[in-house]
Amino acid sequence: MPSEPAVKAFAQPGTAMRPEGFATAFAHLYRAEMHRMTAWRQRLDVTSNWAILLTMGITTFTLGSHTVPHFVLLLGLAIVAISILMEARRYRHLHHSEWRLHLMDRGFYAPLLRQEAPAPPERWREMLAADLEQPRLLISLFCAARVRLRRNYLPLTYFTTAVWLTKLYVHPASASSVAEFYQRLTVGSFIPSWFVAGSATIFVVGSTVLALTCPTIEALERWELPEPGRKGDPFPLP
């Protein structure tokens, strides 16, 4: 709960909050934002853990018996894609919360530890106040998906694809030629080999390109406060 000085300051319109009241309210805000960031981090880890467990389970189940069809592993790639979308949404909120904490750390706590005056209010307090009034996520869902793909899911994609190709080659017996291996790509009598090969290649190559061309997490989290007196968007996108 806010301290009594903070409550009195808010109860009197037009009265500036005393330093001790601001510090108390600010500490509560910082603690709440830290809890929010931790919750999103935990949700992010849960998604990654489930994706890894499901991938390991599907690959082990498929390679364990020659009667299990190879396209079960293609479902594993679909699970990876769904996990990326779920994790991207959660990473956007985590990134937003980390940005808020960065404003607080750099604008208030860092000068306090140096025994200096806080940074000018227009450089961080206005940005934080505007974001509290109308929150806005700083990165798009597409960018977040690429970041999580690069961070976690590209190795899972490669692993599942490698197991799928191994399954095609060894079950029910080792392929004697490239033509026989190619024929095994068919899914029943509905999906021909060329479609399976083309779609799998596009998925793997596309995932690689998207992952390698996206910014790193370190680059996305390298925030800079605007220069004093600079006007414009108070939410500089990374």
**Cβ-contact 56, 106 below 8 angstroms:** no
Q: Is residue 57 part of a domain?
A: yes
Total of domains in the chain: 1
Partnered with residue 40 across adjacent β-strands are none
Q: How many angstroms separate the CA atoms of 74 and 157, rounded?
A: 10
- DSSP conformational letter for 223: -
- Residue 16 has a pLDDT of 54
Q: Is residue 26 part of a domain?
A: yes
Residues 6 or more apart in contact with residue 236 via CB below 8 angstroms? 223, 224, 226
- Give DSSP secondary structure letters for 90-101: HHHHHHHHHHHH
Q: How many angstroms separate the CA atoms of 225 and 127, rounded?
A: 9
Q: Collapsing DSSP states into helix, strand and coil, what is residue 67?
A: coil
Partnered with residue 191 across adjacent β-strands are 187
Domain of 29, in residue numbers: 4-220
- Residue 24 has a pLDDT of 85
- Residue 155 has a pLDDT of 92
Q: How many angstroms separate the CA atoms of 236 and 238, rounded?
A: 6
- Residue 119 has a pLDDT of 57
Partnered with residue 187 across adjacent β-strands are 191
Q: Is residue 229 part of a domain?
A: no
- Residue 91 has a pLDDT of 93
Q: Is residue 233 part of a domain?
A: no
Q: Is residue 113 part of a domain?
A: yes
Q: Is residue 135 part of a domain?
A: yes
Q: How many angstroms separate the CA atoms of 4 and 228, rounded?
A: 33
Q: Is residue 228 part of a domain?
A: no
Helix (H) or strand (E) holding 214: none
Q: Is residue 227 part of a domain?
A: no
Residue among 137, 163, 157 at smallest CA distance from 210: 157
**Cβ-contact 125, 107 below 8 angstroms:** yes
Q: How many angstroms separate the CA atoms of 184 and 182, rounded?
A: 5
| pLDDT tens sequence for the chain (238 residues) | 444 544 444 334 444 556 667 788 888 999 999 999 999 999 999 999 999 999 999 999 888 888 888 888 888 888 889 999 999 999 999 999 999 998 888 888 888 888 776 656 557 888 888 888 898 898 899 999 999 999 889 999 999 999 999 988 888 888 888 888 888 888 877 889 899 889 999 999 999 999 999 888 888 887 765 544 444 444 444 4
**CA dist 110 → 49, 70, 101, 149 (Å):** 35, 56, 12, 33
Look up residue 52 and give its two tokens.
């890894």
